Structure 1
Amino acid sequence: MLSRPRPNQILKVLSVILGFSVLIGLIPSLIANPDQFEGDIYYYDTVGQNRNRPPQRPHPDLHVPTVPVKHGVTVFSNSPTDKTAYPYLQTTINFVEGHLSFKAFLSDGSEVSYSTRGEHVRYSKCNGDLCIIVSQKNVLGVSNTSTEWEKGHIFGEERYEVAMGHKAALVASDRKLYLFNSYTNHWETISLEQETLSAFANLYDKVAIITTRRILVIDLPREVQFEQNLLLRRISQFELRDGFMNFYAGSKLWMFRHQTEAFEEVDLTD
């Protein structure tokens, strides 16, 4: 008489059959994808959520675009040392940002509004007698003698540096300088030719701009410029005073006298 198979023997037979079935099912996928086990191994969550799956690395042949750097407006810092003793001057103008607009409130109580619809404001500030706005399209300025925001156009440049005085403001790009004159409510454009901005200073009605190639002194009420070539020298420090300006370059000093409106070259080694 044949003996009845035990339950544990039945389980072993079923396990062997199940193993053969799984192996037979995997053979086609192994033949079709012989390299599927090379490289990283990923774990699939049967619930449908890849909680345990590590981040995938892009294939070396694929180009993965990087996130573009957002350029903006930064505050300019003088590289030569500014020894000017600036007096305290109160800011006499203010603005309020409204819905798609800026409203400037002047010292006489009047209000000047500008619509920023279609523009992205990147910088705005008031100082002394003027306020400026920098957007992706325009530079804008207003002063206590303005009847409207004065607009200056900027084209195709993403990075700007801003310097504020009490009577003038500077917006500098890699190629141009945009100077706002609060006396005339006018934007003046100064091209940079094989030179970079080194310093900006504004004391009362005079502006000093130092580049790697020259010194510019600007009389704001008359919009007159005076220029001095640096002759390949580098200004290390400068000082603005009521009657003159001093610009030091090693043993050389360039002095600008307000009375004569001319530069004098002084050799400090004598």
Structure 2
Amino acid sequence: MLRGFRTFPFFTAVSFAMGFYLTVPFFPMLVANPDLLESDIYYYDTVGQNRNKTPRKPNPDLHVPSVPVKHGVTVFSNIPNDKTAYPFLQTTINFVEAHFAFKAFLSDGTEVSYSTRGEHVRYSKCYGEICIIVSQKNVLGVSNSSTEWEKGHIFGEERYEVAMGHRAALVASDRKLYLYNSYTNHWETISLEQETLRGFANLYDKVAIITSRRILVVDLPSEAQFEQNLLLRGIYQFEMRDGFINFYSGDKLWMFRHQTEAFEEVDLTD
């Protein structure tokens, strides 16, 4: 046995080295952002950045679709060129969305409320003298001359195009047209039989509707409808004026006169 051999300093040095080795890696490394040389210096902790993080997979038993089904409501855009010179239109009616209700405020201060319980509102807007709402099962309209929201029923429709006028509004699906008349506070349903909507315009008390097969002019106060077959021709331009409406189709013009409430065919090649 060796005398005078001291083991304490040796084991102390070894323990100190091992403790230093085990302790240092657990201190976070502070790295400066080199892009911020003249600004504040930011530091971030690099410990654990390279850990393997496997994304959680959705439970297959939940049957949640990856892309939610959306019922589309879009703003309608005319295909024929609309050359109507519209005057400045001031919106004189407004609404607010309350708790499960829409409250419309008419120009005379009257408040008209509609409960939306059980309905999902897809579209709502006020313009000119009217406001409309489109839900998953109803179309609703109110005007400054009405006392309540007028309801029109829609069933099995998923896609709509909405067009707003000063006195009338149109909600168009693939199968039907729903026309709101502010004068009568009424929804008129117009069926689309093997035809598609091409144009819509409203100037004062007249509405012009153009489809792939016909022209339809509606007088709002009387609800009278006047129709012209297009004879397989297309309308490329139309114009609404105070006394007449012009519909142009190549070398042919159909003019609707307000005074006679009839269409006149004009050959532009003469």
TM-score where L is the length of structure 2: 0.77
Matched, 1:112 2:112: yes
Matched, 1:122 2:118: no
Q: Which residue of 2 aligns with 1:256?
A: 256
Q: Distance in 1 between matches of 2:66 and 2:127?
A: 39
Count of aligned pairs between the two proteins = 216
Q: Distance in 2 between matches of 1:267 and 1:71?
A: 44
Helix, strand or coil at the partner of 2:122: strand
Q: Which residue of 1 aligns with 2:52?
A: 51
Shift in Å, 1:95:
0.3
Helix, strand or coil at the partner of 1:231: coil
Shift in Å, 1:252:
0.7
User: Which letter does structure 2 place at the counterpart of 1:139?
Assistant: V
Shift in Å, 1:53:
5.5
Shift in Å, 1:55:
9.8
User: Which letter does structure 1 place at the counterpart of 2:154?
Assistant: I
User: Which letter does structure 1 place at the counterpart of 2:124?
Assistant: S
User: Which letter does structure 2 place at the counterpart of 1:128?
Assistant: G
Deviations 1:142-170 (A, max 9, x none): 00111110000000010000000000000
Q: Distance in 1 between matches of 2:113 and 2:85?
A: 35
Q: CA RMSD in A?
A: 2.0
Q: Which residue of 2 aligns with 1:76?
A: 76
Q: Which residue of 2 aligns with 1:145?
A: 145
Q: Which residue of 2 aligns with 1:206?
A: 206
Q: Distance in 2 between matches of 1:151 and 1:71?
A: 20
Structure 2 unaligned residues grouped into runs of 5+: 1-50, 58-63
Shift in Å, 1:89:
1.6
Deviations 1:218-270 (A, max 9, x none): 00000000000000000000000000000000011000000111000011111
1:217-232 mapped onto 2 (5 Å cutoff): 217-232=217-232
Shift in Å, 1:51:
3.2
Deviating beyond 2 angstroms after TM superposition, the runs of 4 or more aligned structure 1 residues are 50-56, 64-69
Q: Which residue of 1 aligns with 2:103?
A: 103
Q: Which residue of 1 aligns with 2:9?
A: none
User: Which letter does structure 1 place at the counterpart of 2:97?
Assistant: E
User: Sequence identity, in percent?
Assistant: 85
Q: 1:224 to 1:53 in 2, by over 3 A?
A: same
Shift in Å, 1:110:
0.6
Shift in Å, 1:66:
5.7
TM-score where L is the length of structure 1: 0.77
Q: Which residue of 2 aligns with 1:93?
A: 93
Q: Distance in 2 between matches of 1:51 and 1:148?
A: 62
Structure 1 unaligned residues grouped into runs of 5+: 1-49, 57-63
Shift in Å, 1:67:
3.0
